[in-house]
A and B are shown apart, each in its own frame.
Chain A
Amino acid sequence: MRPDQLLHPTPKGLYCPVSDFYIDPVQPVDRALITHGHADHARSGHHSVWATEQTLDIMAIRYGEEFCSERHVANLRETFVLNGVTIGFWPAGHVLGSAQILVEHQGLRIVASGDYKRRRDPSCLSFEPVPCDVFITEATFALPVFRHPDDVGEIQKLLSSVQQFPESAHLVGVYALGKAQRLISLIREAGHNKTIFIHGALKKLCDYYETQGVELGPLSSATLAKGEKGDFAGSIVMGPPSAFTDKWARRFPDPIICFASGWMQVRQRARQRGVELPLILSDHCDWDELLDTILEIKPREVWVTHGRDDALVRWCELNQIKARPLHLVGYEDESE
């Protein structure tokens, strides 16, 4: 069996004709396997959904309990059979609940890794390599310029700026699922125990992480009742980046705009967005980690989903590894 007979790209997403399911479909389908809860991968409106329990919980938080008709919990590191095809979910290290999906049929093993990273993340399980014939990788940061520095140093940048500018509020732009909770965990690990103020968009997911055993320390709402005056000087405030360009941000004294993202590696990106303190912190692999992962798993073939596939495919060619871009559409390049 050729690999693309088992799994191939379609406008709705990666499709398995043998078993009739999609992985991370971008349009409503009958049967969907979901790698993780980010909005471009996990959409509402499918009939049956297979995902880890945490991903299903996150989808319910974001879309309401009616986000699909049938939920199927996939236990990590276990396999089950769906219409004759063996399926398994393994931790991907991207956000809480994220998983790679193994699809196995007639001895052919394909792993769709979804989004993943290799760094330690105190807010989710680490990536586990799964032997396979075809490894489907993301390529969000697949350029040799993306080399994420050590997390500890980035957190230190933030904390020393908070000390240096005590009259300011540091407004940190974060993605509501994953990045926010990871950043808070890392700040706590660095010994900062003061209250962190969060935008309303982060609250439900932070609460959920706490129920899953991820301790986030004292958090408080950054949104005030009308007429109320908050004292935000010297504090860290987190919210979606869009909130900081909105009127919402005017309550904060001498704000310093920060943004926690892998894109912050490139100065011009930071400047364009008006970011004063870029924190290079990503939930995706950097260039080195992508290559390390491919070299570690040693698949016969690499398929590249969304992102900068040209550089990764080029590197594979140079290293005599068979590779092809899938040109999947509907996943956000800027998904940080």
Chain B
Amino acid sequence: MESFAHLLDRLVLTPSRNGKIRLLVDYFARTPDPDRGYALAAITRDLDVASVKPAMLRGLMNERMDEVLFKLSYDYVGDLAETIALVWDSEQRTAGQGHDVQPASDKSAADLSLTQIVETLNTLGKTEAMGQVSNWLDQLDASGRYALLKLVTGGMRIGVSARLAKQALSEFGKRYIKIDIIEIEELWHGLEIPYEDLFAWLEGKADKPSHLAAAPFRPAMLANALADSDMRKLDPDHYAAEWKWDGIRVQVTSEGGTRRIYSRTGDDISRSFPDLVEAMDFEGSLDGELLVGRPNNTGEIEIGSFSDLQQRLNRKTVSKKLLVTHPVVVRTYDLLADETTNLRDQSFEMRRGQLEAFAKRLDPTRFDISPLIPLTNWDDLAQLRENLPHPVIEGVMIKRWDSIYVPGRPKGPWFKWKKDPMLIDAVLMYAQRGHGKRSSYYSDYTFGVWTEDDALVPVGKAYFGFTDEELKQIDKFVRDNTVERFGPVRSVKAQRDFGLVLEIAFEGIQRSKRHKSGVAMRFPRISRLRWDKPPHEADSLTSIESLLTP
């Protein structure tokens, strides 16, 4: 348990992706089975153990320790699990026992393994679990107590996505065998905790585990970005064009009674979309875009806005009301399997034909086909891209008619040609120091635009889009023109005739009640530094409101 707890402590505070991967790889290398497998499952949130409610923990603490001292502690720390982890066994002092207290080093914490904890919890009900947790808290040190409490309260927020964990697994495997992360994604849902066969394969001690899962994930085929000039070299006769919808790329698979919705990277997101799962009464596997939408009176599906879709994202549970007001649909791109027939080794042209036939059998309120755009020459397509017919289209896709469906991002067969970003000129207002490598730089910028009474109102934050050289220049500007400091944040001189104008690129702008300005940008980044532009020429709130996504 000690090394798992230590791993969590490090992961939480390590900002860099590569740093996190290194920590995970080292942990997998030095931790035996099945501990490392349970740790992996805890990190990817696939581990399902008897849970303990925060209210029960609070109750337990009130029995054990003076209420005032606990409250002062909790107020200071702000996190229940961490407070309990730290104050545990301090209550013995309040009884005035003083010197009789056993020092922590005498405890047998090292003996308690993560495996023991997980396997015991699996056999217990909720009420028994609480008593057992309390016993373990006595045996663990503060770091171990924190890890245990996070494990049983299900609040393991450590900044590691399942995708990152898989990346670490593939890095770990590369020490012993030739492997691509796609292989892990493909296998993932057929594997069982604690993943002993996976680790044996990665260490070169056993063959690749065989595909056991029903409705497995088929690693997605991705497109390369296309520059305007590239396209002139391509023969339009060889390509199909379609809209690039701005939702969530998904794979919906229903095979032998198992129904799953996968994200692009193979995460099972079925639980968030029960309405869609219910409509998946087919046998096969489809590739498409998940969007919010409902049929209009002609029976065609009308797509909702991106902010409608956001209502449905990152939710563990979905309310009945939301299911009614924000139903999700899939606009299909491709057919990967029809019944039990694999279609991925056929051409896009063949698959598209099959998809059209297949789609006729699908629930028309939940599924339709992403239409093809007639393609005769690139100039016409460029015209279309300039005048996209729907706000939830973010560009066009170009696919070779003869392309087979291969995992990953092969060069050549598929291209995405996104619409140009929106641009505004804004004024730098606040700068915050970065983390890790950037901790000596002011690298996170809040920028604003002018209101009607000539004041600046913040409209967004950006922390990338500039070169290292530009970062140094902005950092110098911030240090030379600081007005006030608030911890790691500085406010910067920003007046009508003096300040730094930033050209901001973004993908769309929406109304937002959470922001003072009333608007929120999607994916803002710095596209240019406008040293040449006086701040009073930057945009106004009125002018950026005219860009609002309908």
Q: Is the CB of A295 within 8 A of B99?
A: yes
Q: Is the CB of A246 within 8 A of B99?
A: no
Q: Is the CB of B86 within 8 A of A318?
A: no
Interface size class of B (residues with CB under 8 A): 35 or more
Q: Is the CB of A315 within 8 A of B12?
A: no
CB distance from B63 to the nearest CB of A (A): 15
Q: A244-B440, A257-B439 are in contact. Are A274 and B433 (CB under 8 A)?
A: yes
Within 8 A of A (CB), among B120-156: 141-142
Q: Which of B22, B78, B105 is the one whose CB lies under 8 Å from A150? A: B105
Across the interface, which residues of A come within 8 angstroms of B69, CB to CB? 144, 311, 314-315
Across the interface, which residues of A come within 8 angstroms of B372, CB to CB? none
- Judge whether A81 is part of the interface by a CB distance below 8 angstroms: no
Q: Which of B86, B433, B434 is the one whose CB lies under 8 Å from A144? A: B86
A310 to B75, CA, bound (A): 13
CB distance from A212 to the nearest CB of B (A): 31
Q: Is the CB of B98 within 8 A of A276?
A: no
Q: Is the CB of B10 within 8 A of A277?
A: yes
Q: Is the CB of B86 within 8 A of A147?
A: yes
A35 to B105, CA, bound (A): 33
- Judge whether A219 is part of the interface by a CB distance below 8 angstroms: no
- Judge whether B13 is part of the interface by a CB distance below 8 angstroms: yes
Across the interface, which residues of B come within 8 angstroms of A226, CB to CB? none
Q: Which of B13, B78, B99, B142 is the one whose CB lies under 8 Å from A278? A: B13
- Judge whether B537 is part of the interface by a CB distance below 8 angstroms: no
Within 8 A of A (CB), among B383-397: none
A143 to B71, CA, bound (A): 10
B44-52, B89-97, B310-318 - the one binding chain A: B89-97
Across the interface, which residues of B come within 8 angstroms of A288, CB to CB? 90, 93, 101
CB distance from A152 to the nearest CB of B (A): 10
Q: Is the CB of A255 within 8 A of B98?
A: no
Across the interface, which residues of A come within 8 angstroms of B272, CB to CB? none
- Judge whether B511 is part of the interface by a CB distance below 8 angstroms: no
Q: Is the CB of B72 within 8 A of A267?
A: no
CB distance from B80 to the nearest CB of A (A): 12
A150 to B2, CA, bound (A): 14
- Judge whether B531 is part of the interface by a CB distance below 8 angstroms: no
Q: Is the CB of A144 within 8 A of B73?
A: yes
- Judge whether A165 is part of the interface by a CB distance below 8 angstroms: yes
Q: Which of B12, B23, B68 is the one whose CB lies under 8 Å from A314? A: B68
Across the interface, which residues of A come within 8 angstroms of B484, CB to CB? none
Q: Which of A275, A276, A318 is the one whose CB lies under 8 Å from B66? A: A318
Identify the closest chain A residue to B72 (Cβ).
A311
Q: Is the CB of B436 within 8 A of A257?
A: yes
A330 to B436, CA, bound (A): 33
Q: Sample 15 A-B pairs with CB under 8 A, ordered by A number.
A: A144-B73, A145-B83, A149-B141, A150-B104, A254-B437, A255-B437, A257-B439, A266-B76, A272-B487, A276-B436, A288-B101, A292-B98, A292-B99, A295-B98, A311-B73
Q: Which residues of A contact B (CB under 8 A)?
A: 143-147, 149-150, 157, 161, 164-165, 244-250, 254-257, 265-268, 270-272, 274-278, 287-288, 291-292, 295-296, 308, 310-311, 314-315, 318-319
Give the 5 A-B CB pairs with smallest separation, nearest first: A145-B86, A144-B90, A295-B98, A144-B87, A249-B440
